[in-house]
Amino acid sequence: MANKSDIVGSLAKGLQVIEAFRAEQPRMSISDVATVTGLDRATARRCLLTLHELGYADYDGKFFTLTARVLRLGMGALAAMPLAQVVQPWLDQLSERIGQSTSVSILDGTEIVYLARAAQRRVMSIGLMPGSRLAAHRTSMGRVLLAALPEADARAIIEASDLTPRTPYSLTDPADIMSRIAAARRDGYCVIDQEVEQGLRSIAVPIYSVHDRVVAALNTGVAAVQADAGDLVGLYLEPLLKVQDGLRRVLR
């Protein structure tokens, strides 16, 4: 472990500022960033202006937005991860077969991080790509990943999450969310009905390694045109399970 004298505080603060930008809040003022990061306003301002000067952020005089240059910081690492490399061809084939977008993600604290994605059509108002993050507790992939944890660990993550509803369908009671996680653990899959965004449903399954360890989650998200969210099981569970079985033979 590095000594405190080896830590560059300004770099740490700059990374905090970059991480403050999310799909739900892509444009932020200095005050917004200070609030989200806990940094004082002067420090947030210096970090943002530095990012702007280096080409990592645009600035319109009030709001900052990250530029595509930020992707250089993470895309190379994501692309080099063996898991992302292995699953991408499977995602591409699955997406072509079912005619829907498919994704693979991992759990990172209270969020899921997209590792790979094959897009057929855009069904969410926010664009998803490798590196995108969503709250784990309200997503199908997040719930199957939480289901793979000991119950106490999953509950701790739920209690640390921001349970503010995104739609009228979003669950906000920790007991209700834990009940859905328990169902995902029992059933081996999870269906989400418009909790992330109205008009969007998704179904997810865990991805296992050859050692029967859950290493990621796989899902497809579709427009809510079926009469019932349960219809997703009949339409998409079997194709998802076939990919699950195939990856189980090759992931270590």
For residue 168, count other CB atoms closer than 10 A to its CB: 8
Return the pLDDT at 130.
Answer: 85
Return the pLDDT at 26.
Answer: 87
Report the pLDDT averaged over residues 161-178: 95
Instruction: Map 196-225 to HEC letters.
Output: CCCCEEEEEEEEECCCCCEEEEEEEEEECC
Return the pLDDT at 8.
Answer: 85
Asked if residue 1 has pLDDT above 60, the reply is no
Least confident of 63-67, 125-129, 188-192: 125-129
Query: In b/e form, how buried is each residue of 3-37, taking b as 16+ CB within 10 angstroms?
Result: eeeeeeeeeebbebbbebbeeeeeebebebbbebb
pLDDT tens-place string over residues 18-42: 999 987 788 999 999 999 999 999 9
Return the pLDDT at 123.
Answer: 52
pLDDT tens-place string over residues 188-241: 999 999 999 999 999 999 999 989 999 999 999 988 876 678 889 999 999 999
Return the pLDDT at 129.
Answer: 81
Report the pLDDT averaged over residues 110-127: 76
Report the pLDDT averaged over residues 72-77: 68
pLDDT tier for residue 154 given thresholds of 50, 70 and 90: very high
Q: Give me the phi and psi of 251, to 5 degrees please.
A: -85, 135
Query: In whole angstroms, what is the distance from residue 83 CA to residue 87 CA?
Result: 6
Query: In whole angstroms, what is the distance from residue 40 CA to residue 94 CA?
Result: 47
94 Cβ neighbours under 8 A, 6+ residues apart: 102, 118, 220, 239, 240, 243
How is residue 4 written in tokens? 């405190």
- What percentage of the chain has pLDDT greater than the value 90? 73
For residue 226, count other CB atoms closer than 10 A to its CB: 14
One-letter amino acid for residue 113 of the chain: V
pLDDT tier for residue 119 given thresholds of 50, 70 and 90: confident
- Percentages (nearest 5) of helix, strand, coil residues in the chain: 45, 20, 30
Task: Give the predicted TM-score (pTM) of the model.
Answer: 0.73
Return the pLDDT at 249.
Answer: 87
Give the full edge-to-edge strand order of the sheet including 57-59: 27-28, 64-66, 57-59
The mean pLDDT of the chain is: 90
Report the pLDDT averaged over residues 126-133: 78
R_g over Cα of the chain: 19
How is residue 120 written in tokens? 């057929």
Asked if residue 17 has pLDDT above 60, the reply is yes
Query: In whole angstroms, what is the distance from residue 232 CA to residue 224 CA?
Result: 10
